[in-house]
Each structure stands twice: as structure tokens, then as C-alpha cells.
Amino acid sequence: MFLRTLLQSPTIQISFDHKNDWLYAEWIGDQNLESVQEGCLQMLDYMKAERCHKVLNDNSLVTSMWSDAAEWGGRTWFPAMMEAGLEYFAWVYSPNIFSRLSTDLTIQHTTRPVVLTFDNIDTAKAWLKQM
């Protein structure tokens, strides 16, 4: 990957992948309502700045449930991302079952853009490249 790091924090690293023209968000460790909202709003800002239409959202390193942010993510953040130009969102599940449930709950509150979940990053990248 040809990544340029845009943000590095204890809970998220956001990069821009020049080769594939997408935002790459790698979430790290325990998440809660505050960390999810903060990270998501940063993603929104960087997506606008980079003028990209795809996101590779990697929860592989997430270690906790964050379901208190699910409804906000689905009903508020995803529509804002779509308004900013988001078309395709590849979401890599965490191995943590409670984080996976939080992801599924967020998607239940989401109608658009196109969001697909994956068990590994390689499959997610392959799908996103085809879009």
C-alpha cells in the first residue's frame, strides 16, 4: 500500500492510499462512544480533503463493544459521509464478537452508501478495487 498517514492517535490511524484512491482507517484497541465519534468525524474531514469516494475501514485491532455509537454511526455519520461523496465502504470485522455485533448494529441503521463487511483485509481490498 502507498499510504500517507493523515492522523495517528491511540484509537485510530487514518491514512490515504494514493494507489487505490481510498481512505484507510485502522481502529485500535478499546472503543467507546467518544472515541468512535471523534474518529468518524476525523474520517469525514479527511475524506472531504482528499476528495475520495471509498473507505477501507479496518476493525481488526478493535478489542471491545462500542454499540452505544452504532445508531449515531448509522443515522448521522454515514449520511454525512455519503453527502461528502462516499460511495463504497469496505468494513473489516474485528475478531472480537462484541465489536462484530456493534458493526452489524451500525449497518442495521444504515441504508446508503454501499457497505459490505469482510473477515479479512485482503478480501475487503479486492472488493473495493472492483468498485
Q: What pLDDT digit, counting tens, does each position of 65-89 carry?
A: 999 999 999 999 999 999 999 999 9
- What pLDDT is stored for residue 105 in this prediction? 93
Superfamily for 3-130? SpoIIaa-like domains (3.40.50.10600)
Domain residue ranges in the chain: 3-130
Report whether pLDDT(51) > 70: yes
Q: What pLDDT is recorded for position 2? A: 82
Q: What is the pLDDT of residues 86-129, one digit of tens each?
A: 999 999 999 999 999 999 999 998 877 889 999 999 999 999 99
Average pLDDT (23-43) is 97
Q: Check pLDDT > 70 for residue 1.
A: no
SS (H, E, C) the chain: CCEEEEEECCCEEEEEECCCCEEEEEEEECCCHHHHHHHHHHHHHHHHHHCCCEEEEEEEEECCCCHHHHHHHHHHHHHHHHHCCCCEEEEECCCCHHHHHHHHHHHHCCCCCEEEEECCHHHHHHHHHHC
